[in-house]
Each structure stands twice: as structure tokens, then as C-alpha cells.
Homo-oligomer: A and B are copies of this chain.
Amino acid sequence: MFSIFDSQMMLRAIELAERGIYTTAPNPNVGCVITQGDDIIGEGFHFRAGEPHAEVHALRAAGGNTKNATAYVTLEPCSHYGRTPPCADALINAGVSRVVCTMVDPNPKVAGRGIQRLRDAGIQVDVGLMQTQAEALNPGFIKVMKTGLPYVQLKLAASIDGRTALANGQSKWITGAEARADVQRFRAQTGAILSTSQTVIDDNPSLNVRWAQLPEDVQCEYDQTRLRQPVRVILDTTGKVSSDAGLFSLEGNVVVLTANKDLGYIHENVEVILVPKAQHGLDLNAALRLLASKGINHIWVETGATLAGGLLAAELVDELIVYQAPKLMGADSRALVNLTGLTSMNNVPTFELTDVCQIGNDVRLRMQKQ
């Protein structure tokens, strides 16, 4: 069903889709290539929610020459009116004779209807090329559509003996400047940055994206004028965070998740959302579902050992990203995560290692839920 040429074109479409990773949230990253015979005649990708989809950009780039062309799209073309009209219609109107896509759109508003619409118009549609690679473009979008829960990345920083602070609380700095810049890369890609009231009170963090601190390779492809700030989400069970906390006054929206019905902030950029309580703190599963219902597909968690342990124990972490410094902080220093009571090596939380690299004098490990 698929030729080597098809694979080459889809790989290019995936490359194009990746150019949107800093800006498309909460929309999925999508790329599109239009070919006529052996030639690429148009390329496009989705840049930002509310702006044209990849197919529309690619068709425009192709000019009028799209009669009997082939379109390669990294997701099923949409069939519904959102902020833009359906891409399936655009492809039909352009006269393409074949559409190749990686996968059915898991969005229940589409879910095969885009493909059907194309086929009903007499277009050959081939589905399933490079589905795994395409899924990797949109882990959050796909997970929310399938489960109602967002994709959660838990970031931790520790010494080689797995410690996050000395016994006296000192922790600045464990990792070096390069590793901290790399964190900015992940922040820039996520829909929301999640932390706790305790972290806000202890560290007064900004939890935002600082363009000047992004790694150079990100700066090259991400224009400063189009910087998108992820939503900052604070778990604050009882409502401890003061209105004076620095993060409220920075650009971008803040969501405070709390069980305190009386909590309110005067800041225009702050939304307070009530979340049911669990045995300890908030019901994390409910909290994440609420965020997903607000269009937050992808969450980057920077927090202390308590929430880290809670998310891990509840099996809500999809990916662990650990920055490790080649230092030893000692057996009396603070543990990486508050998990206890494990009694069998067969049952300890185990991840699949997907990537290891050196960043400055530190290591970054990426691990996926198994």
C-alpha cells in the first residue's frame, strides 16, 4: 500500500509538524506535504490554534496545481467546523486524488469521519503509514482523547545518589546551567507547568518560559515575538499561596487547584478551580481530568518529593525526566521521591529507558511508563 516515496514524503510531513511543537498547544502538531508525480509542490504545518491547519497551508503553497495531486498528512484531515473549516473539504475542493495519513484522528469529533468524507468524494485514502512516529508528535492530544487524562512528564533533578537537597535543605544548585536551560526547552513545549503551593512558598518560582534562557537550537526555530506561555497550575489544597507570590504578576495564565471554597484572587490572569480532596491533599486523578477538560493535554511537573511520590503512586506519570549531577550528597540528604513500603524487587515502579544524554556536566534520562 505504501511505497518508499510515500515514506519519504510522510517523514518530511512529520518534520514539518515538529516545527509547531512550541506553539500549537492545545491543538495537535500536524504537517502536510502535497506532491504531483515525483515533485513536492506544497508544504505546510499547523502553527497555532485558531490559525489555518497544515493542509490549508500546504494547499496554498501549492498554488492552483493540485488537480490529481497526493496529500500526505500526519493526522486524519478534520471533518468538523472548529475555528477553521474542515480540511477534508479543502482537499476535496483542491481536486487531490489520493490522501495518505498516519492515523485516524482520536478526537471523537473526527474519528474517521474525515477519511469517510474524502472517500465519499472518490479520493483514495491510505491510512497507517508511520503511525508510531506520528503518535510521538502528540502524546498529550492522543492521551486526552483516548483516556480523558493529560500526558504527564515529571521532571526531577538529583545527585547521582538520588538526592534533592542536603539534610539542612540546601539544594542550589545540584545541576548546572546547561541542564537548567534544557528544562526551559520542555517548559516551552508543554501545555501547562504544574507545581505545588509548598514549592511556590519555598522557592517563589516563576514557572514560565524565559526565551533568553532557552537552548540555542530552540531559539533558532522559535521566534521570540511569538513566545507562548504555558498555563501555570498550582496545587494548593488549603489555599496557602499569598496574592503577592511572584508568579501571579508574570505574563501568562495561572490556574489554582484547591479544595478551599473561599479561595479567590484579584488577578485577572488567575482562575481558581475546586477539586475534591483525597486522603492526602487533592484527588490527583480528578485534578488532572479537570485540567484536560480545560484543554490542557500535556503537563510538565516541577515539584517536590511529596507530589512526585503521589503522582507515581497513583500511576499518573507517563514520563520521568531526571537530570542527574555527578555529585554525592550523602545518605542523610533528602530522597528523590516520597515512596515507601516497597517489599519486592518484582513490584518496584519500573520504566522503559528511552533516551540518555550528557548535558553540560550532567546527565538527562528520559523514561517512559511501561
- List A residues at the B interface (Cβ < 8 Å): 158-163, 166-168, 170-174, 305, 309, 312, 320, 322, 324-333, 335-345, 348-353, 356-358, 361-363, 365, 367
Contacts and interface: CB of A to CB of B under 8 A. Distances in A.
Given A326-B350, A363-B365, A338 B331 contact: yes
Given A160-B162, A327-B348, A327-B349, 7 more contacts: A162-B162, A171-B345, A305-B331, A326-B367, A328-B349, A353-B358, A353-B362
Given A327-B349, A342-B333, A343-B166, A160 B367 contact: yes
A166 B350 CA distance: 14
A329 B348 contact: yes
A311 to B, nearest CB: 12
A166 B349 CA distance: 12
B170 A335 contact: no
Contact of A160 (B305, B322, B326, B352): B322
Contacts of A333: 342
Copies of this chain, complex-wide, total: 2
A292 B68 CA distance: 79
Contacts of A171: 345
Most chain B CB atoms below 10 A, which of A160, A332, A356? A160
Nearest to A366: B326
Contacts of A357: 356
Nearest to A350: B327
Q: Which of A168, A327, A352 is the most central at the interface, judged by chain B CB atoms within 10 Å of its CB?
A: A327
A161 B350 CA distance: 12
4 A-B pairs with least C-beta separation: A162-B162, A331-B335, A161-B162, A161-B336
Contact of A329 (B328, B329, B342, B353): B342
A330 B342 contact: yes
